[in-house]
Structure formats: C-alpha cells, structure tokens
Amino acid sequence: MYWYNKYYMYMYISQFLIMISLTLQNRCLNTRSMEGMKLSVHPHEVMVDERVSVQVSGLAANQRVTVYSSIKSGKGEVFASCGCYQAEKDGTVDLERTPALSGTYTGTDGMGFIWSMRPAPGQRSGLRLVQTDVTKPQLVNISIHSGHHSLSDLCKGHSNPPLVTGVLPRWYKSCDVSRIPVTSGRLRGTLFLPKGPGPFPGLIDMYGTGGGIMEYRAALLASRGFAVLALPFFGYQDLQKSFSDLDLNYFKEAVTFLDTHTHVQSGGLGIIAISKGAELGQFIAIHCPVIKAIVSINGMPYLSFSPIHDGHITYPNAIELDLALYDHTEEGICSKTGHCFDTSKFFKVWESDVKILSIIGSDDMNVHPDLHQLQVGCFPAHKQNNIELVVYEGAGHLIEPPFSPHCRASYIKMLGTNLVWGGNPVDHAYAQEDSWRRILHFLNKHLREGHRKEGIKSLL
C-alpha cells in the first residue's frame, strides 16, 4: 500500500497548490475596474455540475454590454460564447434575471454563457470540448465589453478592450478524490475513489467508438461519492487498436477487479456508458450477474459492427459497419439509417434482474431513437419496471454532464471524417442538466439502498 499512499499524497498536494494559486487569481472576480465596474461570480470555484451566479455592476443605466466567455482545451482549441445585454436601471446585469437580447444564447439563462459555447471561428470543423486532464480545472475566461458584438468579432479581437475580466475554475474532480491508474494484468483504466475507507458503491464508466480513455465523467461521479473505474477497451496504451473482435473476458476482469476492491461495497455494481459503451454495458450485464444497474445513454440494444468472443464462444454482431448505408451530409456522416430493427437480435436483458435507465435524445443522428422504444416493448409485463426510458426532445447523441457545450458533430479517427451526433443547443442543454439529476437518483437508489450513506455528495 506504500505506493498508493505516496501517489495519493503527491496528487493531493499538487491539486492543493493549484487551488491556492487559483484562489489568488479569483480575487479579480470581485475587484472593481478603474471605471468602477465589478464582475461578481459566485461561487468563485465550482464542480462542473454546479450552477454559478454571474453579475455585473457599476454600469450606466440601460448600458449595452456583451458578456464574452471562452475556454481553451488541453489541445489549445478555443470554445467561446457571447451574450448581448442591456443593463437594468440600477446599472446591473444579472445573468439569472437579465435577458440576453442576442448572441450564442438568448433569454434568461444563468448558465448560457457555458453551455452555448461553440468552437471559435477559424478552427477546423468537428471539434469537441473534452477535459483530458481532470487533475486541473477547466478555466472559463469571462470578459465584459461595452456595446453589442458578434462572437466572430470578439474571437478575432475586433472590439474595444474589456471593461472588466475574471476567471472561473470548474472542476471535474474534487480535491479529495484520488485518481489511480490501473494496470492489472491486461486491464487498463483509471480508478477514482472518494476520500475515506468506504466502502463506496462501484461503477464502471465507458464511452464509445472514439477509443482511448475518457475520465471526466468518472471523476465527477467519484466526487459525488461513487468508486468509479473509467474503462477503455481499445485505442489506449497496449490495448487493441480497434473495437473489432472484442474479448468478453476483458470486461469480466474489470468487473471482478472493481467488485473485489477493498474500497467498493459488496452487493452489486453499476455501469454508466454512452453509445458503443452503453451497448457493451448491456451485454456485460447479461453475463455478469453482479451488475445491478445500468445507465445507458443512446446505446444500441444489440451487438454492432463486430462480434465478441468468450473463449471458444463467439457472439455475432447484428449489423456490419457499412458506410454506404449511411447518409453523407455537409456536416458529416449520419449513421442513424443503418440499424437493425429485428428484435430477435436484441439483448435479452429482461432475463436478468438488472435495472436500466435509458437516456435518449430524440434528434440522435447516430442511433435511431425508435430502437429504444422497441427494446422496452420486448420486456415482459412483469419486468417492465426494470427499465425506465427517458426521451429528450431535440437532444442529440452526446448527452454529457450538465452545462457541457453541445457538440453536434465531431471528427472520428476511425472513420476519417466527422460523425453527426444531432441535437440543438437549447434542448440538449436541458437534457444534460435534467438527465444528470435522474442519473444520480437512479444510481443512489439501486446501488446505495441498504448500505450506509455517510459522506454522500449529491445534487439531489
């Protein structure tokens, strides 16, 4: 255990020093500018699933201003938003009360300055904002400009210097959550553990055909009191290069690793996954009775594109990866059209006792939304309570944690082009915020029930 304690101490001290540095930076958020204007952001530092209050004071009555916000990704890509406002008679703009008249969002929405972000003009198409290093905060730069300006002009610097500026740090990983790389046998991934001995309810977190590892949702869920294994299954370290011919035993090893961990409570694990990962999550649950709950986000109800092997047994895929079956548009490939509606090839998850929360975007351009309703219809009457289907009108495929900027299409290396995910920013933002609360409620209900609930961190 010496290596673990030493690693944890190093990560904790490093993040503590970052937080001290950011605390000093944050003073600018409540410091008046030379013109007597003030930008107030409360709280000064938050988890990404928490709301903030943004206010500007010291303006002239009815003064026209633009709130410009931006984030630079770990790869140097810039995502930005703007909202054009007219100050109240008392010279204030409160993003929760004052309507945005134009910009990347309109109307009264206190978090529109984040969820409406889009790739800044002049960059390549198909960008997606992903936090690759969860030990560092996502920094939101906020500036207030006199007059109304377009996003293009602001991004290109075609406006007067800002009246006042500030930086909002947003964290995916709480400082008291430990991040532990996993290299156990052939198993690869990252384990996130809340502070304390536990035991904590265990979760496996998987993503889709983009490959590699995604840690941000796992880190956030660990910050809400779950022990979470972010599990890659191809395109990471020495794992296989593609998702063809996957081995079921790899996933069984991941289940055993988490289920037997000293910090994980006994009695059952959960899976949260999106797209190809959600498809695999259902398949794993059929073969691993220890899986008691699944959050499936726009996942197919059958094996797609390639078979899965389990020793000498091969489980065939229901559809092939045939780009000729898909719609090719200016935005990219829409794969919604190339799916299997033969329910005899669906996973028979109703034969197990696993509970499923199925989160669906009605404007998903990747997986046809009708598939999920067909799957619900396969459940016999006495098992209907085992699956809950929530369909969000206008939402797309990539339903992420709250306030994540909407990504309508992004580049997929495997395809060599953009894949269209669908959705519109306003409806998608609602889906992300509402589904997150449902997800936390669902996981708490089915994984914590009957266990002690000390130290639970929840938005409920």
Query: Would you say residue 27 lies in a domain?
Result: no
Whether the per-residue pLDDT at 430 is higher than 80: the answer is yes
Q: How many structural domains comprise the chain? A: 2
> Residue 227's pLDDT is what?
98
> Residue 2's pLDDT is what?
37
Q: Which long-range contacts (CB under 8 A, 24 or more apart) does 448-453 make?
A: 448/201, 450/267, 451/199, 451/201, 451/265, 451/267
Over 301-348, what HEC string results? CCCECCCEEECCEEECCCECCCHHHCEECCCCEEHHHCCCCCHHHCCC
Q: Could you read off the pLDDT of 289-312 as tens digits, one per residue?
A: 999 999 999 999 999 988 999 999
Q: Are 287 and 196 found together in one domain?
A: yes
Residue 339 lies in domain:
177-449
Mark which of 130, 149, 171 sits at the end of a domain: 171
Q: Are 182 and 165 found together in one domain?
A: no
Whether the per-residue pLDDT at 455 is higher than 90: the answer is no
Task: Of 176-180, 273-277, 292-296, 316-320, give the lowest mean pLDDT range.
Answer: 316-320
User: Phi, psi at residue 80, to the nearest 5°?
Assistant: -145, 160
Report DSSP letters for 105-165, one per residue: S-BS-TTHHHHT-EEPTTSPSS-----S-TTSPEEEEEEEEES---HHHHHTT-SPPPSEE
Separation between Cα atoms, residue 338 and residue 324, nearest integer Å: 9
**Model-wide pTM > 0.85:** yes
- Please indicate whether residue 365 or residue 450 has the higher confidence score (pLDDT): 365
List the beta bridge partners of residue 351: none
Query: Would you say residue 31 lies in a domain?
Result: no
Catalogue the active-site residues: 275, 364, 397
Instruction: Classify the C-alpha dihedral 310-313-317-322 as positive or negative.
Output: positive
Whether the per-residue pLDDT at 144 is higher than 90: the answer is yes
Q: Are 138 and 208 found together in one domain?
A: no
| 118: confidence class by pLDDT, cuts 50, 70, 90 | very high
Q: Are 286 and 372 found together in one domain?
A: yes
| 226: confidence class by pLDDT, cuts 50, 70, 90 | very high
Crossing angle for the helix pair 248-259 and 276-287, to the nearest 10 degrees? 70
Query: Would you say residue 454 lies in a domain?
Result: no
